[in-house]
Structure 1
Amino acid sequence: MTADASPVSGSPSAPAVLRYTAFSADPLGGNPAGVVLDATGLDDAGMLAIAAELGYSETAFLTALPEESPAGGGRGFAVRYFSPKAEVPFCGHATVASAVALAERTGPGDLVFETRAGTVPVTVTEENGTLRATLTSVEPQVTDVAEDDVREALAALGWPAADLDPALPPRISFAGARHLVLAAASRARLADLAYDFDRLEALMRRLDLTTVQLVWRASAGVFHVRDPFPVGGVVEDPATGAAALAFGAYLRALGAVTGSAVLTLHQGEDMGRPGVLTVELREGDPRVRVSGAGARIPDAG
């Protein structure tokens, strides 16, 4: 067992759980995730118990694909993601964390993650000693959201409708997981987040949402974002790769960006865990890419 791995339950037979942060090269920034590089033999209850005890917004559980499979060869993995309360189909920051953990052991390069949302290619590069992972989404979908549901979301957040940015209307966007996108008209509105946990959770469960993606546009290509995550048992997610992918798809669907574009999303500043997510849109490719740095979180023991 390496210094960055420990059995959560303290049992010698428990799988090693690694702790990494994603979308920051600083262990104190970004979004922490649990990573189990060999989940062979773990059932659903076992994975959920590990995720709940660890307490991070998500933990990724990897199982190497057979050598003969199309994504095998030691670079392909089946991946499942669990929050402290439930399994989620896809998680961006835990994907980045897992890819960085693998790259530290086998080197940078291309990986393939088979998730419940679909196949996710990941590329890890090293820049000045820092590992960065770029993941490519499944094909996204953006749909309208009912006015009554928007009103309920605003009521749960305690946001007046006048505090929304009319240039970025509410939508539900999917790029591996479903997110309701709400745009604040000011940075101050985004910074003031104190919401009704149970009320927002009930709405999100009814709409099958993973997070609510709250955004403020600082400039044409720079945004500040926050992600309430009550359905995962977490008040707020510090850096949300799946929501960043969905947001890129949302902007493209609105026509707010055209052709190829690179966006910078700042998240976690209001939580004291700043992170940076880089979103890339490529002309002619409906998929969205998100990239960020990752770093091991030193073992507390």
Structure 2
Amino acid sequence: MTISAEVLRYAAFTTDPSGGNPAGVVLDATGLDAAARLSIAAGLGYSETAFLTPGSERSYSVRYFSPKAEVPFCGHATVAAAVALAERIGPGRVVFETRAGTVPVDVAAGPGGVPEATLTSVEPHVEEVADADLAEALAALDWHREELDPTLPPRIAYAGARHLVLAAATRGRLADLAYDFDRLAAFMTRLDLTTLQLVWRESADTFHVRDPFPVGGVVEDPATGAAAAAFGAYLRELGALGSEPAVLTLYQGADLGRPGRLRVELRPGDRRVRVSGAAVRIPDGEAG
């Protein structure tokens, strides 16, 4: 089967092509069926590739594929795709129609002129985790309950995709990540989870995070915008932010050698969560 499409590569949530989370971007996926999109995503090997189909002016239908399956929403590929579009049609707002719902994205020049994109999530929600499910997740991770931060209890959070939030009590626990890939993948598939959002709280508004992604065929996602949005909703639900507006900084990817930075904003009177970050093109011939 011959597949013809222009595939761009961007690193999201970073100003360095060797940092952040690499994503594939196809700005015009017209004529590509699901099998072709999956084949392209698998060939790239990135955690997600965004496939856009142009609609009305500055509006696009977007689908996201990991190397193994389609996912309903992906934050870093959204940021990458919005920046790629801005470089072709100019900055401003674009609207992405995703399987999870409508996601507006605003692109403007950041420090040093590097484009930054801000996505506005779909309506989020947070739910409890059954004790037996928590036990299975911890067993797959080889974590223990006493290693969790009691001030940030486990929850499942959604802002376009479902993520189990687990807070480590120490940075050392977060840094030491060696899990049972197949066992965690089976657990996540059963609960329809996209990633685990593993976090450690450095300060009131600064967190370090990691995201295992075995259901996508990837051991770990280097920078995860969808999980960041879900995490903002989680903190709001817990009342862990104080008053709003609130702005959080999430550092992710350092443990993988791909440091990235995500900005999460919550505004009073608006339940949706905003996630911002830079994105840069990965030059042809360079590893992503």
TM range (shorter): over 0.9
Indicate whether 1:22 and 2:12 are aligned. Answer: yes
Secondary structure at 1:286 match in 2: strand
The secondary structure found in structure 2 opposite 1:134 is strand
Q: Which amino acid aligns with 1:212?
A: L
Q: Tell me whether 1:43 sits opposite 2:33 in the alignment.
A: yes
> TM-score when scaled to structure 2?
0.97
Q: Which one of the candidate residues 188, 208, 230 is aligned to 1:224? A: 208
**Shift in Å, 1:260:** 1.1
Residue 95 of structure 1 aligns with which residue?
78
1:253 match: 237
Q: Which residue of 2 aligns with 1:175?
A: 159
CA distance in 1, matches of 2:212, 2:285: 27
Letter paired with 1:269: A
For residue 131 of structure 1, the aligned residue among 107, 115, 118 is 115
| Distance (Å, rounded) in 2 between the aligned partners of 1:147 and 1:18 | 43
Distance 2:194 2:109 in 1: 31
CA separation in 1, counterparts of 2:147 and 2:96? 39
Letter in 2 for 1:145: V
Question: 1:28-72 CA distances to partner (integer Å, 9 max, x unpaired)?
Answer: 00000000000000001000010011100000000000xxxxxx2
Task: Note the alpha carbon deviations across 1:130-166, whole angstroms, 9 max, x for none.
Answer: 1000000000010001011011000000011110000
* Counterpart residue number, 2:100: 117
Question: d(CA) in 2 for partners of 1:235 and 1:227?
Answer: 9
Name the counterpart of 1:190. Answer: 174
SS at match of 1:239: coil
Q: Partners of 1:284 and 1:295 in 2: how far apart?
A: 33
2:185 and 2:130 mapped to 1: Cα distance?
Answer: 17
Q: Partners of 1:45 and 1:133 in 2: how far apart?
A: 29
Which amino acid in 1 is paired with 2:92? G
Paired AA for residue 270 in structure 1? D
Counterparts of 1:1-301 in structure 2, within 5 Å, are 14-65=4-55, 72-73=56-57, 75-127=58-110, 128-257=112-241, 258-300=243-285
Residue 29 of structure 2 aligns with an amino acid whose one-letter code is A
Deviations 1:178-218, CA, capped at 9 Å, x for gaps: 00000000000000000000000010000000000000000
Q: Displacement, 1:14?
A: 1.3
In the aligned structure 2, how far is the partner of 1:161 from the partner of 1:264?
A: 26
The unaligned stretches of length 5 or more in structure 2 are: none
- 2:284 and 2:178 mapped to 1: Cα distance? 32
Whole-Å Cα distance in 1 between the matches of residues 22 and 161 of structure 2?
19
In 1: Cα distance, 2:195 partner to 2:131 partner: 18
Q: Distance in 2 between matches of 1:171 and 1:58?
A: 24
The one-letter amino acid paired with 2:184 is: L
Q: Counterparts of 2:8 and 2:244 in 1: how far apart (Å)?
A: 39
Count of aligned pairs: 284
Aligned-residue CA RMSD (Å): 1.0
Name the CA distance, whole Å, in 2 between partners of 1:139 and 1:292: 20
In structure 2, the partner of 1:68 is none
User: In structure 2, what is the Cα distance between the partners aligned to 1:29 and 1:106?
Assistant: 25
13-22 or 186-195, larger mean C-alpha shift: 13-22
1:107 Cα deviation (Å)? 1.2
Separation in structure 2 between the aligned mates of residue 284 and residue 167 of structure 1, nearest angstrom: 25
* Amino-acid identity (%): 74
Amino acid at match of 2:245: S
